[in-house]
Structure 1
């Protein structure tokens, strides 16, 4: 009997010790034999994950786009203002054109649904401004009618898949009305950068680099001589890349540069139509600052798989892609013609935004290829998600975006934790004074229970929201 009590006591002490250790470190990153990497932790107290109402985040509202979308390539350099001005002079009832330049000579014209005669009027305007458009592929028209319930459900599923791949804590994706989708991303109101340098990095040097780069509101948390966590306001993808280059130039090379959060990053992953296209880019200079893109008939529908991995030889991050039989044939013909020709690139577009434009280094005959470059783990995974997640069945327009403040706020949350701790101490004191030894045992049990429960919440992990508290 006594031996059994000793075993139970040892087991309890081991559980308590493991629980305390899991809470003592904000981040857990260990290699478990046979399992792989085990990573836990967040920016909340004790590394616990907090929901949108406790830590704030991004709130995005998308609406299904209804109207006529015209993509036109004109003979000369296109000017958005000139085209918009001339089209809006036309006698088309209740029509206002939104003109966006996609490149030097290609524009996108969006507006309400148009009749055939009204489309011809717009084509005539473009021809009067820039000359004849003889190729029908240079004047593409897509009519977006009101979406069906099935289309909205499909769009909801694809966006949910993209959002879940971002890795935010307890994201919310739901349909609102007949044609809107709400996306809430806890923690996306700011950008968190985890960087590990090859050599020791000085805190003051990092601080000076951020200051010279024009950052005002940021926080640097030193994890070790080489590991740092930098928290800033939401950064666009361009600013993220710029900061990575600034740190490399001023501090030194880094092993990892992982980014989470940021409204711009979330919007880029979700996309508007999630229409993926591969085009041939002909560069007219060594730096490919001027170019012309041409259609290949290769789209996201031809892509079977895309995933991030490390190169077995160099250890660098890359994106692997696999086309179906139709896509493999097109890709084979393309790479055969342009292999090792630096003036010709494969431009990949998502919603008309350039994702990447690699040069073909080999003739790819089986539809399997690998995109390499200066990828971090985060950027490789992001590109793979953008390539893999599929095409939305209905185009969406972002009609509202906002950063949501935590309902309690960081200061209020801190004060609540202090108040809770004081309350717990008073309860323990009362129990010990009134019940003496029994009260002491009960108090120890209460603390033990609380520590173990918080450790379980962190290790599963469980996302804490205001109702949980």
Structure 2
């Protein structure tokens, strides 16, 4: 009798826990039930890699999966299509622009040393780039696509001119172990980064070399300068230790988070192009879902009715056991999602 009472208490506890899990962590629906974003990504060859192999396509797929994990999407579908395309389905993401920004950027991060004697030219080029970026922000609210494209091309030329004033990269994205958004002021955001042990040593050596010289560390993302800080002379003996750094720039909370996701997910080994990006509605529809629920409940009721009429007390016990089993199963899926 004591054993049966103990088992009953365990069953009741598991049932209560299942109900709690289902109320706190509702099931996350897939693309067909809740809608979301669907992207088709084309992987492009380079001058060095003219033919894309299956292994290279899988490497790009892995980076995309890492970035999607940073978005917190439940049940994403990422699969290769043909020899050079990847299909991505993101349930619940109703902002296709965010998905394109996070998945589409190469996210090749580089830390470079400014060349000696380039201070004057760098200052002039930096002013030009900032003016172009301010103009681009204003143009985004207009409908003049030609002006937007023309100014974007000017920004690219200016970025390339600035990149030419810096040495080859001393650190790259592979030297990072983590990247995360952090608030640096009331309305200011930055991206904190952590280096690997070897990356930390490289960063300390780079900052030691530039400390007090007035020359900048160029932090480039996809060959575009996003920050060009100088290093104070107090670090001339040891460089900046600690294995970490902060990337400041014109970030808000959203853009800092997106850059953190890109950097943490890794840089893409090959350039990509998003050839399709669209919002997908729930294909089954609310009415179809309701009809399915009603049909399922009706079927369960008929099963329970048959069990009770045919097996009497044993049928009632079996029906209760079926309900408990269903709750446990749904709770397990809900907690896992």
Q: TM-score, normalised by structure 2?
A: 0.68
State the match for 1:19 in structure 2: 18
Distance 1:330 1:167 in 2: 35
State the match for 1:172 in structure 2: 77
What SS class does the counterpart of residue 450 from structure 1 fall into? helix
State the match for 2:194 in structure 1: 321
State the match for 1:62 in structure 2: 41
Distance 1:380 1:163 in 2: 16
Shift of 1:19: 1.1
Shift of 1:383: 2.4
Residues 307, 273 of structure 1: alpha-carbon distance in 2 compared, 3 angstrom cutoff: closer
Gaps of at least 5 residues in structure 2 are 115-121, 134-157
Residues 124-169 of structure 1, C-alpha deviations (whole Å, 9 max, x = no match): xxxxxxxxxxxxxxxxxx6763333443232222222222332212
Contact 2:108 2:172 in 1 (8 A): yes
State the match for 2:101 in structure 1: 268
Bigger fraction of residues in helix: 2
What is the correspondence of 1:418-429 to structure 2 with a 5 Å cutoff?
A: 418-429=294-305
What SS class does the counterpart of residue 282 from structure 2 fall into? coil
Bigger fraction of residues in strand: 1
Shift of 1:22: 1.6
2:246 equivalent to 1:370: yes
Distance 1:317 1:9 in 2: 54
State the match for 1:307 in structure 2: 179
Contact 1:306 1:388 in 2 (8 A): yes
Number of equivalent positions: 285
What is the correspondence of 1:214-363 to structure 2 with a 5 Å cutoff?
A: 234=95, 263-277=96-110, 282=123, 283-284=126-127, 288-289=130-131, 293=159, 294-295=162-163, 296=166, 297-298=168-169, 300-301=172-173, 303-308=175-180, 319-322=192-195, 323=199, 325-333=201-209, 336-337=212-213, 348-350=220-222, 352=224, 356-357=226-227
Distance 1:9 1:52 in 2: 39
Shift of 1:458: 0.9
Contact 2:104 2:273 in 1 (8 A): no
Contact 1:162 1:389 in 2 (8 A): yes
Distance 2:218 2:63 in 1: 26
RMSD over equivalenced CA pairs, Å: 3.8
Shift of 1:51: 2.4
Contact 2:176 2:193 in 1 (8 A): no
State the match for 1:451 in structure 2: 327
Contact 1:273 1:351 in 2 (8 A): no
Q: TM-score, normalised by structure 1?
A: 0.51
Shift of 1:432: 2.7
Contact 1:274 1:351 in 2 (8 A): no
What SS class does the counterpart of residue 270 from structure 2 fall into? coil
2:65 equivalent to 1:160: yes
2:275 equivalent to 1:399: yes
Residues 388, 335 of structure 1: alpha-carbon distance in 2 compared, 3 angstrom cutoff: farther
Distance 1:268 1:59 in 2: 14
Residues 55-94 of structure 1, C-alpha deviations (whole Å, 9 max, x = no match): 3332222223247xxxxxxxxxxxxxxxxxxxxxxxxxxx
Shift of 1:16: 1.0
**Most deviating of 417-426 and 293-302:** 293-302
Gaps of at least 5 residues in structure 1 are 26-40, 42-46, 68-141, 191-233, 235-262, 462-469
